[in-house]
Chains A and B, each alone.
Chain A
Amino acid sequence: MSIDAPAKVIPEARTITTKPRKSDQLFRMIVTLGGMTSLVILGLIALFLSLKGVNVLAEEKFSFITGSNWAAITDETGNIVESDFGIGPMLVGTMLCALIAVLVGVPISVLTALYLTFYANGRVKKFLISIIDLMAAFPSLLFGFWGFIVFMSSAEYWAKLLNKYLGFIPIFDVPVPVFARSPFIAGLVLAIMIIPIVTAISREVFDQTPLDRIQAAYALGATKLAMIKAVVIPYGRGGIIGGAMLGLGRAMGETVAVYTVLNIVYQVNWQVLFGAGGNVASLILLKFGEAGPYEVDALMAAGLVLFLLTLLVNATADYIINRFGGKGK
């Protein structure tokens, strides 16, 4: 009697390869496709807005950007006889409000970020940072209503002061003393909206300042001011400029807050204290309700212009942050 030795199964030698398995290839393909989401969506936005807007753009050509009328004349059956669409005043208004927002908001944000990075510490710092981050999540609707109901009266008073003492400067002059709902106030509300965003970016940039350089400056006897001037600002200049551009992009695309605060009037208005103005986004919201099909196409074209404008600003911001941010001399 003999016991059969269990048959020894020798596995076949595995070929060793660096080629990924089937499952990995599939995984990589799916993730890469998913990674393309942003590309696809941005492309589709540009494509569809152009498709809808191309009629109007072809009709109006360059005067769509420079023209200052928004009117369509229809006959009895509702067909459009004559139309003249140009978003010039709204583009001017967009730039005006966004510039005020950046001019007011960015210095405040940078100084706040300096305080948070170099003066505050411990729990106070954590608490302040989380409050400012929370403010970044407030809906724009809230800023708009607060701006209209609470902030307007104070801001109107400041506008009157500015006009009284600096009225000789053309942009602070007003044709009629109407100060409520002006681009100045809308710009201030936008400034309050972008402060948390710009503060967060500046803080990140300041946090990256190399500690050895900071300590070297202190070791040479620098005060905090001298250290910040010599080390932090040169190092973080690119990041701050990039952050300011991001804030500019945000302020240019804002709809609801501007719509609520600003008195939208279709005319070019450079006088920031006068209660008339507009921006492209709020124009779209305003005209959309009663727009006929052709006017909707014109609004799509306006949306396309706004989209390309914000894309350009964001691209510049990204370039500046990556090229100069956190490097210094």
Chain B
Amino acid sequence: MTKVIPSPGKPWQPTVKNRLETLAIVVAAFFSAVLCVEFTGLNGKLGFFVALFISLGVLNFAFQYKQRGVAAAKDSLLQVITVLALALTLIPIVSIVSTVFIKGYKGLHWGILTKDMALASVNDPIVNGGLLHALVGTTLMVGGALIISFPLGLLTALYLTEIRGSLTRPIKFLVQAMSGVPSIVAGLFILSSLVYPVTKELSGIMGSLALTILMIPTIARTAEEMLRLIPNELREAGVALGGTQWRTVAGVVVPAARSGLVTAIILGVARVIGETAPILLVSGGGDSLNLNPTEGAMGSLPFYIWKAFLTSGTPESLARAWAGMLVLLSFIFILFGLARYLSGRKVG
């Protein structure tokens, strides 16, 4: 008697027939949507999408009802609705990114890296003037904010993960609450506490301080998550070797979380690099290169975009604004890619 060894099957996966049926339903829905747009009052892109999703839902429901009954039909309806929601989430993203690239590349030229706007107005031809002052200003302000907020954010994260004192719950809440502080309030706070009573002048460092308030919660929360990923055995090993808590944290835990902490920095930078409202209030917003953050108005990328967009409606100024936006968005893409890469690597 021969043994029959069944070949491994995957009965839970859709068969070829299932897939073909799904495809047929989608195609049929597509055609019925086209017919709806042709022959009824619905028109335009909106009409088409509405018709497409309604007919997709109805066809799918009817098909599943005939095949497997009412429960399965309702289930398939949920799937159609979630796909619709996903589409509604993705359409703006695609639209935003493609708009920035299509409109932004016209304003790009090599001069934007070497010239500032001291002698050019936003309505001049695009080859006049550039982004230098804005890039330098943004770098200085974000760098300054980073120097202040990284230590504070790291200490907060260390308190939450290493000390775990009686204040852990309240501090977690406060960090959460701080991340919800409206950005304009951060600007008003710097104005009321430092600019009016002390310096009486808008400058780059005030911009840094305003950004610090927005940056600390992001860094603290990411760093906390990253420190939590460090296995407890490492801490125990440090203590077992006779290390004090200080030596364990400084010599074992923090080095092990190094790439995680870099991720925290990157996400913090990405959070504040495009912040506009506080920058408009406190940094002054200059058009010429200013390397001194302690005095004088300092330009920045968001301010440059804001000004080019709002001051006039000529094609040149709009092209400038979108080009600035393209540069800003590219920075965010790069920072985000770096963060993904770093946090994707193994911890330790």
State the A residues within 8 Å of B (CB): 20-21, 23-24, 26-28, 30-39, 41-42, 44-45, 48-49, 51-52, 107-112, 114-116, 119, 128, 130-135, 137-143, 145-146, 149-151, 154, 157-158, 192, 195-196, 199, 223-226, 228, 246, 249-250, 252-256, 260, 281, 284-285, 288, 296, 299-300, 303, 306-307, 310-311, 313-315, 318
Contacts and interface: CB of A to CB of B under 8 A. Distances in A.
Contacts of B270: 137
Classify the secondary structure of A's interface with B: helix
Interface string B303-340: 00110010000000000010001001100110110001
29 contacts: A20-B244, A24-B245, A27-B244, A31-B163, A35-B156, A35-B158, A35-B160, A37-B153, A38-B174, A39-B174, A48-B192, A52-B196, A114-B82, A128-B86, A132-B89, A134-B333, A139-B275, A139-B302, A146-B95, A196-B89, A223-B71, A223-B72, A225-B74, A225-B77, A285-B184, A303-B184, A307-B182, A310-B182, A311-B180
A37 B274 contact: no
B173 A34 contact: no
Contacts, number: 262
Chain B CB count within 10 A is highest, among A26, A31, A48, A109, for A31
A254 B302 contact: no
Given A145-B309, A288-B281, A38 B189 contact: no
B185 A149 contact: no
B257 interface: no
A145 B160 contact: no
Contact of B165 (A32, A37, A130, A288): A32
Contact of A35 (B167, B184, B335): B167
Contacts of B274: 138-142
Nearest to A288: B281
A158 B336 CA distance: 34
Nearest to B72: A223
Given A24-B246, A150-B95, A252-B182, 4 more contacts: A34-B155, A48-B189, A48-B192, A132-B89
A225 B75 contact: yes
A139 B142 CA distance: 14
Classify the secondary structure of B's interface with A: helix
A233 B138 CA distance: 44
B83 interface: yes
Given A49-B189, A115-B85, A41 B184 contact: no
Nearest to A226: B71
Given A35-B156, A303-B188, A253 B92 contact: no
Contacts of A137: 267, 270-271, 332, 335-336
Contacts of B189: 44-45, 48-49, 303
A41 B321 CA distance: 34
Interface in B182-196: 182-186, 188-189, 191-193, 196
A128 B83 CA distance: 12
Nearest to B92: A192
Interface stretch (B110-118, B213-221, B230-238): B213-221
B79 interface: yes
Nearest to A188: B92
Interface in B6-27: none
A111 B81 contact: yes
A318 B176 CA distance: 8
